């Protein structure tokens, strides 16, 4: 196995080597692959990719974005980006204009300090480069205004000097979203440089992982052995792909070399292999009732066989439902999957995405609950309006009454139940969701939803229909759309390879989050209207088979 460098700069930003020189130097250093990740620009990518054709080194198109988090610079590296995608070019155009405006303001500030400098002079001194503070420091040094680059930052360019100009506030979440939409892998760059401390760094990683972050630099030139171990543990805890690189800038960073950093760096080729796997593996998120299950709540042999073929090909399956966890396990048993196809490839998104579960490892991936005081308020509101309401423990349904609605529900959901309305007595921990049921009068549920959306709880709780008789309540951080985003990141599948199938209102966010959102032929008009595709057969006639075959999920 060879070595790679997935964080490299050229003279198109603040490095000193041309893209062509970098290719030749990478070959000289024996690298298997290199990513060009210039700061906030892709101007060198056409040149480097064209020159590297037929050369014995693979070039990964990339970029390093500058973002702001809690008044600190945080950098995100985007790897494998489609840098000509319209969504990416639109972002880059806006960002470049923001940087140009900032540079004009910074030059004006320096002029007020008696320094003869213009933005045009900087462009002339550093042609074809994205002007950064490093270029200002070099210019001030060359013109004799300072005796060192460090002095330039201490007196004129540092964040706390009177001349500094903050850039437009671009958040890490924004560039993660842009990178994913451009088909790339977003990676948190050199986390130790932000000096956040363990607790604050973990908060950042958790936040960005929920936004779709896929990787983190576990290998970097300045890491100590203990820092490297900490980054590896953090990446493993949040299921992030390990990445890394030298952050090579040529002569701009003396002593730091391509591929090896300050001499100890080794980024294994296997890290790149895992990224490529993430870019090619596919994943199917499917609702259960009205989608995977037929009208008799069964799964046909043809559908079972087709799903087994999909999993055998190395792709993933997620059973996504408003049902409780134990009930989804019953559906999984109906699939009767061979153990080798089940291992590492089947996941559950229960309670409308409030509980994400890894079946092979029998482990919770993520969970989002409704605080018990909020759940009690929803219970009380339903009871005042004469509407059946229930919630769930890990093993039981907690119903407001032993009534017709409960009997109807338990015909399908074979779960034990208990009756109670004081949730502090019935629940050991906050529940994943609540369910209101009206068997013959949807208007009662519509009135309940309207009343709830006027309450103080609507900002934290999502309320939507899963069918005409069921109105669901769950944490806004859950939902099937967020479940799709979170699981794609956690199982290392790019969201561009996600296909989602559903039929009801609570499936809409999932279909919208997927690269391809499919509505079953039996879906509601609301879902049909927003879907990318509508099946010809319905759920009773193997509609899932059409989806797997049409969208090439068996390869």
484-524: per-residue pLDDT in tens? 999 999 999 999 999 999 999 999 999 999 999 999 999 99
**The CATH number of 98-157 is which of 2.30.30, 1.10.150, 1.10.1740, 2.60.98?**
1.10.150
Fold of 3-89+169-280: TIM Barrel (3.20.20)
Can you give the residue ranges of every domain in the chain? 3-89+169-280, 98-157, 283-368+478-550, 372-475
Residue 166 in this model has a pLDDT that exceeds 80: no
Q: What is the pLDDT of residue 360?
A: 86
Per-residue confidence at 73, pLDDT binned at 50, 70, 90? confident
Torsion, Cα 432 438 444 445, to 10 degrees, reads: 30
Mean pLDDT value across residues 253-257: 94
Residue 1 in this model has a pLDDT that exceeds 80: no
Residue 342 in this model has a pLDDT that exceeds 80: no
Per-residue confidence at 423, pLDDT binned at 50, 70, 90? very high
Structure tokens at 414: 């074979």
Mean pLDDT value across residues 380-407: 96
Q: What is the pLDDT of residue 534?
A: 98
Q: What is the pLDDT of residue 68?
A: 86
Mean pLDDT value across residues 140-153: 92
Say if residues 171 and 207 touch (Cβ distance below 8 Å): no
Among 51, 74, 50, residue whose Cα is nearest residue 64:
74
Residue 541 in this model has a pLDDT that exceeds 90: yes
Q: Which residues contact 17 (CB under 8 A, 6 or more apart)?
A: 10, 11, 25, 250
Q: What is the pLDDT of residue 259?
A: 96
Number of alpha carbons in the 13 Å side-chain half-sphere of residue 340 = 4
**The CATH number of 283-368+478-550 is which of 3.30.70.270, 3.40.50.1000, 3.60.40.10, 3.30.365.10?**
3.40.50.1000
Q: Is the pTM of this model over 0.95?
A: no
Cα→Cα distances 36→93, 104, 134, 264, 339, Å: 19, 27, 18, 21, 42
Say if residues 165 and 102 touch (Cβ distance below 8 Å): yes
Structure tokens at 547: 């989806």
The residue with tokens 């048993």 is 333
Measured distance CA(348)–CA(361) in Å, rounded: 12
Structure tokens at 501: 């199938």
275-288: per-residue pLDDT in tens? 999 999 999 999 99
Measured distance CA(328)–CA(347) in Å, rounded: 10
Neighbours of 308 (CB within 10 A): 18
Measured distance CA(41)–CA(245) in Å, rounded: 18
Torsion, Cα 234 181 71 189, to 10 degrees, reads: 40
Residue 169 in this model has a pLDDT that exceeds 90: no
Class of domain 372-475: alpha beta
Say if residues 75 and 190 touch (Cβ distance below 8 Å): yes
Mean pLDDT value across residues 367-390: 97
Measured distance CA(82)–CA(451) in Å, rounded: 46
Is the Cα torsion angle 157, 160, 161, 164 positive or negative in sign? Answer: positive
Per-residue confidence at 168, pLDDT binned at 50, 70, 90? confident
181-195: per-residue pLDDT in tens? 999 999 999 999 999
Q: What is the pLDDT of residue 62?
A: 98
Q: Residue 64: enclosing H or E segment and its boundaries? A: strand 58-69
Q: What is the pLDDT of residue 97?
A: 83
Report the alpha-carbon angle 528-531-533, nearest 5. Answer: 95
Q: Which of 168-182, 272-286, 438-452 has the lowest mean pLDDT?
A: 168-182
Residue 130 in this model has a pLDDT that exceeds 80: no
17-71: per-residue pLDDT in tens? 999 999 999 999 999 999 999 998 999 999 999 999 999 999 999 999 989 888 8
Cα→Cα distances 422→63, 80, 351, 373, 390, Å: 54, 53, 21, 10, 12
Measured distance CA(283)–CA(485) in Å, rounded: 11
Rg (CA), the chain: 27
97-122: per-residue pLDDT in tens? 888 888 999 999 999 999 999 999 99
Residue 449 in this model has a pLDDT that exceeds 70: yes
**What is the three-class DSSP state of 462?**
strand
The residue with tokens 């490095």 is 15
Among 538, 476, 474, 462, residue whose Cα is nearest residue 501:
538
Phi, psi of 91 (to 5 degrees): -60, -45
Between 8 and 167, where is the model more confident?
8
321-340: per-residue pLDDT in tens? 999 999 999 999 999 988 77
**Highest mean pLDDT: which range of 95-99, 339-343, 454-458:** 454-458
């Amino acid at each position: 196995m060879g070595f790679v460098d997935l964080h490299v700069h050229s003279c198109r930003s603040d490095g000193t080597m041309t893209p062509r020189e970098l290719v030749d130097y990478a070959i000289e250093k024996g690298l298997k692959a290199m990513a060009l990740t210039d700061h906030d620009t892709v101007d060198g990518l056409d040149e480097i990719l064209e020159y590297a054709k037929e050369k014995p080194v693979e070039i990964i198109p990339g970029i390093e974005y500058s973002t702001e988090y809690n008044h600190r610079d945080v950098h995100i590296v985007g790897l494998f980006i489609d840098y000509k995608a319209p969504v990416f070019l639109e972002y880059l155009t806006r960002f470049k204009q923001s940087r140009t405006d900032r540079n004009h303001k910074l030059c004006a500030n320096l002029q007020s300090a008696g320094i003869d400098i213009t933005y045009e002079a900087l462009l002339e001194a550093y042609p074809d480069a994205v002007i950064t503070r490093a270029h200002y420091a070099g210019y001030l040094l060359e013109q004799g205004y300072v005796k060192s680059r460090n002095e330039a930052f201490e007196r004129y360019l540092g964040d706390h000097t009177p001349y500094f100009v903050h850039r437009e506030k671009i958040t890490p979440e924004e560039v993660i979203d842009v990178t994913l939409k451009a088909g790339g892998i977003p990676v948190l760059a050199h986390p130790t440089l932000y000096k956040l401390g363990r607790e604050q760094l973990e908060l950042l990683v958790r936040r960005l992982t929920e936004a779709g972050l896929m990787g983190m630099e576990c290998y970097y030139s300045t890491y100590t052995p203990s820092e490297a171990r900490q980054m590896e543990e953090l990446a493993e805890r949040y299921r992030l792909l390990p990445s890394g690189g030298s952050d090579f800038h040529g002569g701009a960073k003396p002593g730091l070399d391509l591929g090896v950093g300050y001499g100890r760096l080794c980024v294994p080729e296997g890290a790149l292999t895992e990224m490529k796997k993430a870019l090619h593996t596919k994943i199917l998120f499917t609702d259960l009732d009205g989608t995977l299950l037929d009208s008799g709540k069964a799964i046909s042999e043809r559908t079972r066989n087709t799903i087994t073929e999909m999993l055998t090909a190395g792709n993933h399956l997620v059973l996504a439902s408003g049902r409780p966890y134990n009930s989804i396990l019953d559906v999984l048993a109906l699939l009767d999957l061979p153990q080798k196809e089940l291992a590492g490839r089947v996941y559950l998104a229960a309670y409308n995405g409030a509980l994400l579960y890894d079946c092979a490892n029998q482990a919770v991936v993520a969970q989002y609950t409704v605080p018990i005081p909020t759940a009690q308020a929803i219970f009380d509101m339903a009871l005042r309006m004469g509407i059946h309401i229930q919630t769930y423990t890990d093993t039981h349904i907690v119903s407001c009454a032993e009534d017709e609605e409960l009997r109807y529900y338990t015909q399908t959901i074979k779960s034990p139940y208990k009756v109670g309305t004081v949730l502090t007595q019935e629940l050991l921990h906050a529940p994943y969701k609540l369910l209101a049921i009206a068997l013959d009068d949807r208007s009662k549920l519509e009135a309940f939803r309207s009343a709830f959306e006027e309450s103080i709880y609507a900002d934290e709780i999502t309320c939507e229909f899963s069918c005409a008789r069921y109105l669901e309540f769950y944490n806004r951080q859950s939902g099937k759309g967020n479940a799709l985003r979170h699981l794609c990141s956690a199982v290392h599948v790019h969201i561009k390879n996600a296909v989602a199938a559903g039929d009801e209102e609570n499936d809409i966010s999932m279909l919208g989050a997927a690269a391809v959102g499919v509505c079953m032929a039996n879906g509601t008009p609301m879902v049909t209207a927003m879907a990318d595709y509508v099946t010809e057969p319905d759920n009773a006639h193997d509609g899932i088979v059409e989806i797997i075959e049409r969208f090439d999920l068996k390869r």
